[in-house]
Amino acid sequence: MNNETGVSIVIVEDHPLMRKGIKKVIEDEAAMRVVGEAVSANDAIAIIAREEPDIVIVDISLDAEASGIDLITTMRSRGIASKSIVLSMHTEAYYVERAIRAGAMGYLSKSDAPASIIDAIMAVMSGKLYVSGRISGDLIRGLLDGAEKADGAPVDLLSNRELMVFEMIGAGYKSLEIAGKLNISVNTVEAHRKKIRAKLGCASSGELTRHAIAWLHANNRPAPLP
């Protein structure tokens, strides 16, 4: 924990306007202060190690190879005590579950009212898990639906970044488009596709695409919004 008084916070968000808005909401609170900002998971780890913030607010879809969930997983594996709150466009129960399993203590939608950020910080600082109202309803429905499906689904073998690529394939994006949206190289996208095919047992790119489309449809997933 940072030695100064008040709740110390690091924001990990690759969109400047969104980052500025989050910072404004937080710094309007006398007992809260932003001690660092980062646009990627790699930058964030260095800042978090230096500042030792109480809270890290992180987006899932970062402008880099590692996702926000990867960052939370890394923090946990390194024994970092900072508590994580996810603020994301992804509101599907699947992402919420992954974030919480990784170690997140809060999950908010970017469409939630700004005051929800403060509510989440206060709840997490008091040791509570915070999930915004709309997402909590979706999460409960997702858990109920998931209870009717077999455990250990092959898609669960995918990493967080692989899951994003898989969903984008199902949504009709080509490798070049995926590379542009995730700000990674086409070669990296192709490497992800190869790993996804191996994990899911798909014999061809066409089979992978059909699998991805079917999975999106079966799980009522909208097109990803990286």
pLDDT digits (tens, 9 = 90+) for 80-125: 999 999 998 877 777 887 888 888 999 998 888 888 999 999 999 9
**Does the pTM exceed 0.75?**
no
67, with CB counted inside 10 A (0-12, 13-18, 19+), is: buried
Question: Distance between alpha carbon 141 and the CA centroid of its chain, in Å?
Answer: 20
Question: What is the average pLDDT score of the chain?
Answer: 83
Task: State how far the Cα of 191 lies from the Cα of 167, in Å rounded to an integer.
Answer: 16
Half-sphere exposure of 143 (CA within 13 A, CB side): 9
Using the predicted structure, report yes or no on whether residue 222 has a pLDDT greater than 80.
no
| Residue 12, SS3 per DSSP | strand
- Distance CA(55)–CA(105), nearest Å, equals 10
Q: What is the pLDDT of residues 163-205, one digit of tens each?
A: 889 988 988 889 999 988 888 889 999 999 999 999 888 888 8
Tokens representing 36 are 């660092």
Please report the beta strands in the chain, taking only residues with DSSP state E, as ranges in sequence order.
Answer: 7-12, 32-38, 55-58, 83-88, 106-109, 130-131
Q: Tell me whether residue 181 is exposed, middle or buried, using C-beta atoms within 10 angstroms of its C-beta: 0 to 12, 13 to 18, 19 or more.
A: middle
CA distance 123 to 133: 14
| Domains of the chain, start order | 7-143 (3.40.50.2300), 154-218 (1.10.10.10)
**What was the pLDDT predicted at 226?**
45
Q: How many CB atoms lie within 10 A of CB 215?
A: 18
